[in-house]
Structure formats: C-alpha cells, structure tokens
Amino acid sequence: MPHPTVGTHGRLIAGLTGLLLAMGLPVLPGHAGMSAEELMVDPIEEGMTEEERQARREAIERERQAAEERRREREAAERAEREAREAELAARPYPVRLTERRCMECHDAGDFDREARTWPGWAFTVWRMRLAYGAELESGEWRVITDHLAETHGAPASKAAATWTLLALTPILIAALLWYLMRGRRQR
C-alpha cells in the first residue's frame, strides 16, 4: 500500500520545490525537502481506529522531528567541513592563491605538475599567457607567479645553469653575429 499521508504530501512538496527551483527562487530549508524514505514510520491506514490513528499521527510527528534533527546535524557537519576547507584554502600562501586565481581560469590544478622550468622559462611562459591569451595580471604579479612556479616547479640545476649561461651569452652572440654581418657587407 502506498504511503497516503507522507507519500502524497512528499510528492506535492517535491513538485512545489521543483517549481520554485525552476523559477530560481530560494527554497527555504525545513521539512519540505524530506522524502518519504526519510520518515521511517508506517503511514495511517484505512480501517484504523481513532486511537490508532492518533497514535500513528504522533509517531509520524516524532519521526518527522527526529528526521529534521538528523538533517540539521548533517547540515551543520557539512557546513563545518565546508568552512574548514575554505579556511584552509584561504590560509595558503599568497603566491599559491595568486597563481591559482590568475592561471586556473584556463588551466586545471595539477596541469603544471609535470612541468620543470627555469625562472626565465616560467617568466617567458607567464608573459606568453599574458600576451597570447590575455591572462589578466596586475603589474608585478607576473613576478610573484614566476618566483612561485620556479620554486615549486623548477628545472634541475644543470638545465638552469645552461639557461642562465645562454641568456648571459645572448648579447655577446648577437654582437658577434652583427659584427660578422657588417664585416661581410663592408668586404663586398
């Protein structure tokens, strides 16, 4: 036999809740969201005496209150967990949060896990993201992010040394190339 008291009631409320949600209205918490399954008590049945009905009604009411209490406790636990998680996220160091805010709009956390770059390598990447894809950075933020990524996703020392050497040599190489080209022109 279906649950006439709770079942119809529950369905009606579920329907109304759905309608409110569909209209974008906030749904107030209350016993409204409680389903028949949550009320673990038998419904009022036909053929019951008035005393039996009364007793059943009281049992239903007690169970409803108990279910509401369970729901409140569950919500409090969920809220505490959520707040703890938010506090934990907010307590992370500024460079971590900044990198997340500026880069994770397009990337997923963990995207850079396998990256190992030198400081200039990360600086180049950050600027490339900025110029090519419009990653929004306020002045100086590129440096905070670069420092942070170079520290947490740095290249091995040998690669870093090679990069810095190459960077240091670049002006000399360019000068040498220019000198070579000019000399070639003068001789022609």
Q: What residues make contact with ligand HEC under the rule CB under 6 A?
A: 102-103, 105-107, 112, 115, 125-126, 128-129, 133-135, 145, 149
Q: Smallest distance from the beta carbon of 5 to ligand HEC, in angstroms?
A: 55
Cβ atoms within 10 Å of 160's Cβ, excluding its own? 18
Q: Which is nearer to ligand HEC, 39 or 135 (CB)?
A: 135
Determine the residue with CB nearest ligand HEC. Answer: 103
Q: Which is nearer to ligand HEC, 5 or 99 (CB)?
A: 99
Q: Smallest distance from the beta carbon of 112 to ligand HEC, in angstroms?
A: 6
Q: Smallest distance from the beta carbon of 101 to ligand HEC, in angstroms?
A: 9
Q: Smallest distance from the beta carbon of 13 to ligand HEC, in angstroms?
A: 44
Q: Which is nearer to ligand HEC, 106 or 181 (CB)?
A: 106
What CA–CA distance (Å, rounded) separates 129 from 110?
17
Q: Which is nearer to ligand HEC, 5 or 125 (CB)?
A: 125
Q: Which is nearer to ligand HEC, 68 or 100 (CB)?
A: 100
What CA–CA distance (Å, rounded) separates 44 from 63?
14
> Looking at residue 89, what DSSP letter applies?
H
Q: Smallest distance from the beta carbon of 15 to ligand HEC, in angstroms?
A: 42
Cβ atoms within 10 Å of 166's Cβ, excluding its own? 11
**Nearest residue to 41 (alpha-carbon basis) of 55, 54, 60:** 60
On whether the CB atoms of residues 91 and 97 are closer than 8 A, the answer is no
On whether the CB atoms of residues 120 and 155 are closer than 8 A, the answer is no
Neighbouring residues of 167: CB distance < 8 A, sequence distance ≥ 6: 120
